[in-house]
Amino acid sequence: MADLHLGKRVNEFLMIDEQKHILNQIFEIAVNNKIDAVIIAGDIYDKTIPNNDAVILLDDFLTRLTLENIAVIIISGNHDSSERLNFGSRLMEKNDVYINGIFDGKLKKVVLNDEYGDINIYTLPFVKPAQVSAFYPDAEIKTYDNAVKYIIDNTYINTDERNILVAHQFVTSGTESPEHSESESISVGGIDNVDVSAFEKFDYVALGHLHKNQKIGRDTIRYSGSPLKYSFSEVNHKKSVTIVSMLEKGNVIYENILLSPVNDLREIKGPIAKLIDNEVLKNTNTNDYIHAILTDEEPIYDAIGQLREVYPNLMKIDFERIKNKDNENTTSLSMHVNKKNDLELFQEFYAIQNDKEMSDEQIKFISKLLSD
């Protein structure tokens, strides 16, 4: 799992109750599936200085996991304060909670055991080229790809054993880029990308940073995605956690377990009368976090107030007029603009915007305005 963003606000709505619910659900999944270890691949908190509720929520989650003898492996992401997240990490190792918040020049390793032998879990917190250059001053490290490859190349990794890497970076595969959403910070042009070729020595790579569950390159290099939707660009995501089974060397099985929020983040579209109609509302959760797109052609009195009476967690409202898709109308307007009077131009503009002609009454009204 990754990208918890504990303490996050979405359109000014604090998500802490939703996050508490989803962590309870993840805890039950871990216990019911007899999970040996939970990996959290960065962006634990949403802010470098998390609020009190977020800290308490993480503390409760980790405590419950350790009481079930489930190991926890955590790295910091670009949203986290490395130093704050790293505090107490050596003490926590005694309870099998392994936190790598600060890059110290090398990959750290946690070793777990099962009937097939050792599983080496290497942890790499979010790094920038300048951070890595500080530890390798003689190397030419100018890109994120250079930085991550140099770290891995300077780490001894026994490829006869099973190896996992936990990282929080923007990973691409040649010209293929993973899908990302509005709530993620991705540099224009992909200058912060790391190519999948850096990870050839690892049997599985557990990635954080992007909010959609997806592979990049091969099936065993995966983003788990965020456990909740944090922007309306994520409305079609199916949020999940990934259970990875490390069998004998070369045999890795994964399964995505879907998560169910109390209140979903979704978009609704149509005229306001339809969106607040009782028949339409019968089979929906009106407490969901809503982006409403209204298609009414006429002005609406207090649209936000009307919608919030039905959808108390209305986050965003937009208006979309139905437009004529026939480009010839637009072309005609621009080509013959000098040959038409103001009323004719207005009628043509109205038809393009509303996909219908003006009524006689509207024509009379506009004609009177123009003559005045």
Residues 90 and 200 in one domain: yes
Domain count, the chain: 3
Residues 222 and 338 in one domain: no
* pLDDT given at position 348: 81
Residues 50 and 199 in one domain: yes
Residues 150 and 275 in one domain: no
Residues 197 and 287 in one domain: no
Position 81 in a domain: yes
Q: Which of 210, 235, 258 is the last residue of a domain?
A: 258
* pLDDT given at position 339: 59
CB atoms within 10 A of CB 159: 11
Q: What are phi and psi of 85, to 5 degrees?
A: -65, -30
Residues 61 and 107 in one domain: yes
Q: Which of 234, 258, 282 is the last residue of a domain?
A: 258
Q: Residue 107 pLDDT more than 50?
A: yes
Mean pLDDT check: name the lowest of 89-98, 182-191, 262-271.
182-191
Residues 110 and 162 in one domain: yes
Position 1 in a domain: no
Position 241 in a domain: yes
Residues 225 and 277 in one domain: no
Answer for the pair 244, 16: CB distance below 8 angstroms, yes or no: no
Residues 172 and 307 in one domain: no
Residues 148 and 215 in one domain: yes
Residues 302 and 333 in one domain: no
Rounded to 5 degrees, what angle do the CA atoms 238, 241, 245 make?
A: 130
For a pLDDT cut of 70, what percent of the chain falls above it? 92
In 3D, which of 108, 113, 103 has the Cα closest to residue 78?
103
Mean pLDDT, residues 84-89 taken together: 91
Answer for the pair 187, 175: CB distance below 8 angstroms, yes or no: no
Alpha-carbon distances of 228 from 10, 19, 108, rounded to whole Å: 11, 8, 29
Position 32 in a domain: yes
Q: What is the pLDDT of residues 134-166, one digit of tens each?
A: 999 888 899 999 999 999 999 999 999 999 999
Answer for the pair 149, 186: CB distance below 8 angstroms, yes or no: no
* pLDDT given at position 357: 86
Average pLDDT, the chain: 90
Residues 179 and 128 in one domain: yes
pLDDT class of 325 with cuts at 50, 70, 90: very low
* pLDDT given at position 180: 79
Angstrom distance (rounded) from CA 110 to CA 206: 14
CATH of the domain at 205: 3.60.21.10
Q: What is the pLDDT of residues 243-274, one digit of tens each?
A: 999 999 999 999 999 999 999 999 999 999 99
Q: What residues make up the domain containing 292?
A: 265-319
pLDDT class of 123 with cuts at 50, 70, 90: very high
Q: Which of 258, 293, 310 is the last residue of a domain?
A: 258
Angstrom distance (rounded) from CA 42 to CA 114: 26
Q: What is the pLDDT of residues 41-55, one digit of tens each?
A: 999 999 999 999 999
